[in-house]
Amino acid sequence: MTDSSAPPFLPFTRPSIDEATIAEVGDVLRSGWLTGNGPKVQAFEAILSQYFAGRPVRTFNSGTCTMEIALRIAGIGPGDEVITTPNSWVATANVIIEVGATPVFADIDPRSHNIDLKQVAAAVTPRTRAVIPVHMCGLPCDMDALYELSAKHSLRIVEDAAQAIGSSWKDRRIGTFGDLVSFSFQANKNIMTGEGGCLVVNNAAEAALAERYRLQGVSRRGLDGIDVDVLGGKYNMTEIAAAIGLAQMRRLETFNAQRLSLAKHYFHCFGTEFEDELGAELPIADFDQSNWHMFHLVLPDRIERATFMQRMLDLNIGTGFHYAAIHLFTLYRKRGFKPGMFPVAERVGRQIVTLPLFPAMKHSDVERVVAAVKTILRS
């Protein structure tokens, strides 16, 4: 029997989908136009372009293929090296291998958990052609230092901004400037299309190339003219996903404002003595630039993460972890990476835990989570 007095389960994330969005998806289904470069996709790309200061934007069926296509647009391939972080979802490094290039890792900053740009600079070789930084949990990298490094070494930058829609750097929205910028619309992101993503590019030529890469390399002319000049894939966004995205964009500012409010309440509830008393590390309290995609803790070594997560689950609270260190996966060990090479990423990857944070949460949910965390760490 279940305990009827137990509080309801609180997941670490949940998408916000209103009835208007469901109705719009129904309209798409009734229209019979479900895929291809349809009116919803075109409208979604137009509103995204407006959001990113008029830059060309193309949508895709994931925020992984966007990074792969960005590398292909940049001409990255066999013989090239691409520097990235070991602290990310594995897709960030997998796309480098996918295009035939060699992934090179640089360790992370112990506080921001973003890639350490001093270590990136030290890792540059004559074969380095690009860098893929990650704006971890929506906290932007040091964009000034990143693009100074890019200019110094003539490197292309593919920003993994999967978690960063609505984040900014010195009052400039991420995606409105820079080189190639990839966003994800996967179900737990600040806005979502179920699965999906978009790529912000620099000019019309790159946008046209992105279109060909996303649909088998095909270009069309007239009613029956067709050609294929590059090896593309099947990466186009559906009309259904675009309809969801259009509805979500209307609510993005509201979503992010709620995330900010919840993040501030987390810090208020944890208090100034939490880190010193219990040895856990809170994220950087950046209330100006981060979109607060996630709220995480780095646990003290005295408690194993799995134990902590289970005890939270016993209290009907879901958690996650973002992320395990990429270079310790078997695929990457086979490429010569070993434990001890990136100690900060390894420590964070072993002990980081993600706490609930999503727009439909209430401040009372935050208070419940913080009370549970403190109880577990004090026991």
DSSP per residue over 28-76, as a string?
HHHHS--SSS-HHHHHHHHHHHHHTTT--EEEES-TTHHHHHHHHHTT-
**Looking at residues 23-46, what average pLDDT do you find?**
96
Question: Could you tell me the CATH superfamily of domain 252-378?
Answer: Aspartate Aminotransferase, domain 1 (3.90.1150.10)
Per-residue pLDDT of 183-205, as tens digits, reads 999 999 999 999 999 999 999 99
In this predicted structure, what is the pLDDT of residue 60? 98
Instruction: Give residue 378's identity as a one-letter amino acid code.
Output: R
In this predicted structure, what is the pLDDT of residue 3? 60
Q: What is the DSSP letter of 300?
A: -
In this predicted structure, what is the pLDDT of residue 5? 75
Classify residue 374 by burial, with Cβ atoms within 10 Å: 0-12, 13-18, 19+: middle
* Coil/strand/helix, residue 60: strand
Same fold, 19-249 and 252-378: no
**Looking at residues 9-34, what average pLDDT do you find?**
96
Model confidence at 23, pLDDT cuts 50, 70, 90, reads: very high
Model confidence at 6, pLDDT cuts 50, 70, 90, reads: confident
Per-residue pLDDT of 75-119, as tens digits, reads 999 999 999 999 999 999 999 999 999 999 999 999 999 999 999
Per-residue pLDDT of 310-362, as tens digits, reads 999 999 999 999 999 999 999 999 999 999 999 999 999 999 999 999 999 99
Give the CATH number of domain 19-249. Answer: 3.40.640.10
**Range from 3-12, 167-176, 300-309 carrying the lowest mean pLDDT:** 3-12
Asked whether the beta carbons of 120 and 83 are under 8 A apart, the reply is yes
| Rounded Cα gap, residues 80 and 78, in angstroms | 6
Residue 189 a catalytic site member: yes
| Rounded Cα gap, residues 320 and 341, in angstroms | 25
> Quick one: angle between helices 19-31 and 239-249, nearest 10?
150
Q: Which two tokens stand for residue 95?
A: 């796309």
DSSP per residue over 289-316, as a string?
T-----EEEE--TTS-HHHHHHHHHHTT
Asked whether the beta carbons of 93 and 103 are under 8 A apart, the reply is yes
CA atoms lying within 13 Å on the CB side of residue 63 = 27
**Domain extents in the chain:** 19-249, 252-378
Relative to beta strand 295-298, strand 352-355 is antiparallel
Which candidate, 366, 191, 164, places its Cα nearest to that of 262?
366
**Looking at residues 253-265, what average pLDDT do you find?**
98
pLDDT greater than 80 at residue 229:
yes
Query: Residues with Cβ < 8 Å from 310, sequence gap 6 or more?
Result: none
| Rounded Cα gap, residues 232 and 237, in angstroms | 14
Asked whether the beta carbons of 192 and 244 are under 8 A apart, the reply is yes
pLDDT greater than 70 at residue 4:
no
Question: Within 10 A of 35 (CB to CB), how many other CB atoms are there?
Answer: 14
Question: Within 10 A of 210 (CB to CB), how many other CB atoms are there?
Answer: 26
Model confidence at 1, pLDDT cuts 50, 70, 90, reads: very low
Model confidence at 219, pLDDT cuts 50, 70, 90, reads: very high
* Coil/strand/helix, residue 61: coil
Of 152, 189, 234, 362, which is the active-site residue?
Answer: 189
Q: Which two tokens stand for residue 281?
A: 């590390």
Question: Within 10 A of 266 (CB to CB), how many other CB atoms are there?
Answer: 24
What Å distances lie between residue 323 and 19, 85, 144, 167, 297, CA to CA?
33, 11, 26, 20, 12
Give the residue, 296 or 1, on which the prediction is more confident.
296
Which candidate, 244, 231, 245, 257, places its Cα nearest to that of 57?
245
